[in-house]
Structure 1
Amino acid sequence: MRLIKKKSIGLLLTVLLVAVLAGCSSESSGGKTVKLAYVAWDSEIASTYVVKEVLESKLGMSVEMLQVDAGPMWAGVADGSADAMVAAWLPGTHASYLEQYGDKMEDLGANLEGTKTGLAVPTYVDINSIEDLKNSALAGTLQGRIVGIEPGAGIMMSTEQAIADYGLSDYTLLESSSAAMVQELEKAYQNNEPIVVTAWTPHWMFANMDLKYLEDPKGVYGGAEEIHTMVRTGLAEDMPEVYQFLDQFNWTPEDMEQVMVDIQAGAAPEDAAKSWVEEHADQVESWTVQAQE
């Protein structure tokens, strides 16, 4: 009986010690979960998973990934159900969302510069401008379709405007997903068939295929854009270390493309992000040096 009692007391002390250690671990990370909203575009998968990796491996935070469409992504940060996103394409692509939700969140500025959106074709397609699509014979060759991505995406709204402004009544904008769009493009490219798709850079498809943007003389798609980091109101007070890191997060199209190419080649997003973070220790340190203090 005495031995059993001693074992019971020892077990109880062990359980209490584990609980205390767990409590200390929770306290060291703030006991909080960072909720990141993102759209399942190759570019945004790359950037959001890199942010997730840094938050977890460098700041000791727990991260919840919220994959949604563009509208709900903005709405989530605006109403506080998401803490942040690093996927706001401005000033053009997400202009309508910025107008609707911008005053309900904080813009931390560009995390990547030098982006572009528009319509693209393989270089073997003998046209150079969106205006050239009005050729009825070409419309027939293209089966009267422009292959798009998720409905509600900024580039889809711009393409609907382009169809109207350029008088492309022979065309239908196909709604799909970014992955399905690329599959259609790769299939046509392998068979040397004409195709026109909604496109943006950075994107690995420009590294793997010879593509070109169609000129946009009416400026429907705007000029060069930036990808901004947006956070919910109050994040600076609730999670100052997370806020400071997100405020300092900044990289290049070449950085993003490296992660995208690895994912496209078969790496899991988590693994591609982890490899990039490990290979760019100095750059990551510059993002987190103040956040870790």
Structure 2
Amino acid sequence: MFKKFRFLGLAAALVLVIALAACGGGGSEEGSDSDSGDSGSSDGGDSSGVELGESELTVPYVSWAGAIARTPLVKQVLEEVGYTVETKQVDAGSMWTSVANDDSSFMTASWLPATHQSYWDQYQNDVEEVSVFVDKAPLGMTVPSYMDVSSIEDLKGNKELGEATDWTITGIDPGAGVMQNTQTALEEYGLENWELQSSSEGAMLSELQTRIENEEPIIVPGWKPHWMFEDMDLKMLEDSKEVYGGEGDRISMVAHKSFKEDSPAAYEILKRMGEDYGTDIEQQLMVEINNGADAADVASQFLEDNPDLLKKWTEGIGE
């Protein structure tokens, strides 16, 4: 019996010693961590404050040239630091809805304030704009430069042009904001005879190229940056009523409001990418994809060719 109590006494003493050592050691380690943190912040390499958080991310995107180009780039940068990223192609309405409902992590193809105004009005309490890809992305009715029209007003009552195009504006997917703007333009400019035809971006571009090859008239909703303005001689019609937003929308990343807390490292990376990404990078990626390269391969090559950017976007972040 005595031996049992003596054993328990020794055990209690040992626990007390360990506890005291831990308290003493904690103070020492805290000082060491503080020194290390000061050193880390001086060279920008401290990774202790940025955690991955939720590491499985879902990113919806629309089948527009810019989104097809930039989404794989964002995916690969996030995977570089340990995230698993699933991308899925959807229409514009589903893209906004899934992010607002927190079914998806963030989107890379928000056009604000004009093109996606209706979506923003509906979901602004549930989402936030994280960073901007392109500051000014003009949109408008677009025609081949050989056509003898310069403004949207020139379409009103233009019987010759109307008959040559079947009074049709060749559009893209119906959920796109630029389609909503174009429908509004028909109403604002009194173009009662004209009809906006839905299709897809690919179908619209194919029709545009065919018409240009035959020097035939065609009107489409266009936007920049886009490779079509590099490969084809096009012009946007003047929009005096600014139905399409004047100088242009900003293309940005929009996430659910919980995203910063759920995946802090990803949030930080998206903000950093927004500081450097712009029209020049977007145009470069899109042109290469249009020339036949795979979008994921183009993104990989870009990161390989720009290691300083990759380092800047991911420095201090990791598993």
Normalising by structure 2, we get a TM-score of 0.80
| 2:293 maps to which of 267, 271, 275 | 267
Within 2, Cα distance between the matches of 1:109 and 1:268?
A: 26
Q: For 1:77-226, list aligned pairs within 5 A.
A: 77-134=99-156, 135-223=158-246, 224-226=248-250
Q: Which runs of 5+ in 1 are unaligned?
A: 1-27
2:172 and 2:317 map into 1 onto residues whose CA distance is 36
Contact 2:82 2:318 in 1 (8 A): no
Q: Which amino acid aligns with 1:258?
A: Q
Q: Are the equivalent residues in 2 in contact too, given 1:117–1:201 (CA < 8 A)?
A: yes
Identity value in percent: 42
Residue 30 of structure 1 contacts residue 61 of structure 1 at CA under 8 Å; is this kept in 2? no
Q: 1:279 aligns with which of 305, 309, 312?
A: 305
What's the CA shift string for 1:14-67, capped at 9, x where partnerless?
xxxxxxxxxxxxxx97683111111110111111111011112x2122111121
In structure 2, stretches of 5+ residues that fail to align are 1-50
CA distance in 2, matches of 1:221, 1:30: 39
Alignment TM-score, normalising by the size of structure 1:
0.87
The reply to whether residue 47 of structure 1 matches residue 70 of structure 2 is yes
The secondary structure found in structure 1 opposite 2:136 is: strand
Matched residues in 1 for 2:92 and 2:263: separation? 24
Q: Sort the Cα spacing of 1:115 and 1:290 in 2 relative to 1 into closer, same or farther, 3 A.
A: farther
Structure-2 residue corresponding to 1:34: 57
Shift of 1:245: 0.5
Q: Distance in 2 between matches of 1:32 and 1:288?
A: 15
Bigger Rg over Cα: 2
Distance 1:130 1:106, change over 3 A: same
Contact kept, 8 Å, 1:185 with 1:195, in 2: the verdict is yes
Gap change, CA 1:31 and 1:164, over 3 Å in 2: closer
SS of equivalent residue, structure 1 residue 249: helix
Letter aligned with residue 287 of structure 1: W
Which residue identity lines up with residue 271 of structure 2 in the other structure?
D
CA distance, structure 1, for counterparts of residue 140 and residue 99 of structure 2: 26
Residues 1:60 and 1:255: Cα distance change in structure 2 (over 3 Å): same
Whether the 8 Å contact between 1:88 and 1:230 is mirrored in structure 2 is yes
Contact 1:136 1:170 in 2 (8 A): no
- In the alignment, what sits opposite 2:258? 234
Question: What number of residue pairs does the alignment pair up?
Answer: 265
Q: Give the RMSD, CA atoms, in angstroms.
A: 1.6
Shift in Å, 1:247? 1.7
In structure 1, what is the equivalent of residue 35 of structure 2?
none
The 1:76–1:31 alpha-carbon spacing in structure 2 relative to 1, beyond 3 Å, is: closer
Q: What is the rounded CA distance, in whole Å, between the counterparts of 1:190 and 1:234 in structure 2?
A: 49
Provide the secondary structure at the position in 2 that maps to 1:173. Answer: strand
1:268, distance to aligned residue in structure 2 (A): 1.2
Counterpart of 1:244?
268
Instruction: Give the secondary structure class of the aligned counterpart of 2:137.
Output: strand
State the 1:261 CA deviation.
1.0
Per-residue CA distance 1:104-149 (angstroms, 9 max, x = gap): 0121132221211111001001110011111112111122110110
Q: Secondary structure at the match of 2:223?
A: strand
State the AA in 2 paired with 1:98. Answer: W
Task: Give the drift of 1:185.
Answer: 0.5
Letter of the structure 1 residue corresponding to residue 307 of structure 2:
A
Q: What SS does the aligned partner of 2:313 have?
A: helix
Structure 2 match to 1:24? none
